[in-house]
Amino acid sequence: MEQVTPHVYSLHVQIDWFPQPYPPNVHLIVDGDEGTLIDAGFPDGQSIDGRLEMLKEFPGLNLRYIVITHHHFDHSAGAAKLREATGAKIVMHELEEPVLQKSATEEMPSDMEVPADRKEWHEMALTWRKEAAAAGADVLVKDGDVVSIGGLALRMVHSPGHTVGHLSPLLEQGGDLGSVLFAGDNVLGMGTTVVPTPPHGDMVQYIASLKKMQSLNADLMCCGHGPVVKEPNRKLQELIDHRRQREEQIVSLVADGKGTVKSLVAAIYPELDKRIIGMATSQVQSHLYKLEQEGRVRTDGEGPDTKVSVA
Ligand SMILES: [Zn+2]
* pLDDT, the chain, mean: 94
- In the chain, residues under CATH classification 3.60.15.10 are 2-230
Q: Which CATH architecture has domain 243-310?
A: Orthogonal Bundle (1.10)
Judged against a pLDDT cut of 70, whether residue 93 lies above it is answered with yes
76 CA distance to ligand 1 middle (Å): 10
C-alpha 256 to ligand 1 mean position (Å): 34
Residues 212, 186, 88: CA angle, nearest 5 degrees: 100
pLDDT (0 to 100) of residue 122: 81
Query: 196-227, pLDDT tens digit by residue?
Result: 999 999 999 999 999 999 999 999 999 999 99
- Ligand 1 centroid vs 194 CA: distance in angstroms? 8
pLDDT of res. 19: 74
Alpha carbon of 72 to ligand 1 centroid (Å): 5
Homologous superfamily (CATH) of 2-230 is: Ribonuclease Z/Hydroxyacylglutathione hydrolase-like (3.60.15.10)
Does residue 62 surpass a pLDDT of 70? yes
- Distance separating alpha carbons of residues 104 and 184, to the nearest angstrom: 21
CA of 185 to the centre of ligand 1 (A): 5
pLDDT given for residue 115 in this prediction: 67
**Cα 201 to ligand 1 centre (Å):** 11
The pLDDT of residue 278: 85
Highest mean pLDDT among 12-16, 31-35, 133-137: 31-35
Give residue 24 CA to ligand 1 midpoint distance, Å. Answer: 9
State in Å: Cα 180 to ligand 1 middle: 20
- In the reported structure, the alpha carbon of residue 309 is separated from the centroid of ligand 1 by a whole-number distance in angstroms of 31
Model pLDDT, residue 178? 96
The pLDDT score that the predictor gives to residue 311 is 92
Q: What is the pLDDT of residue 130?
A: 93
pLDDT per position as a tens digit, 139-196: 999 999 999 999 999 999 999 999 999 999 999 998 899 999 999 999 997 778 999 9
Q: What is the per-residue pLDDT for 72?
A: 95
Higher pLDDT, 88 or 110: 88
Centroid of ligand 1 to alpha carbon of 184 (angstroms): 8
Q: In the chain, which residues fall in CATH 1.10.10.10? A: 243-310
Q: How far is the CA of 97 from the centre of ligand 1 (A)?
A: 14
Distance 71 CA to ligand 1 centre (A): 7
Distance 128 CA to ligand 1 centre (A): 14
pLDDT of 118 > 80? The answer is: no
Higher pLDDT, 121 or 281: 281
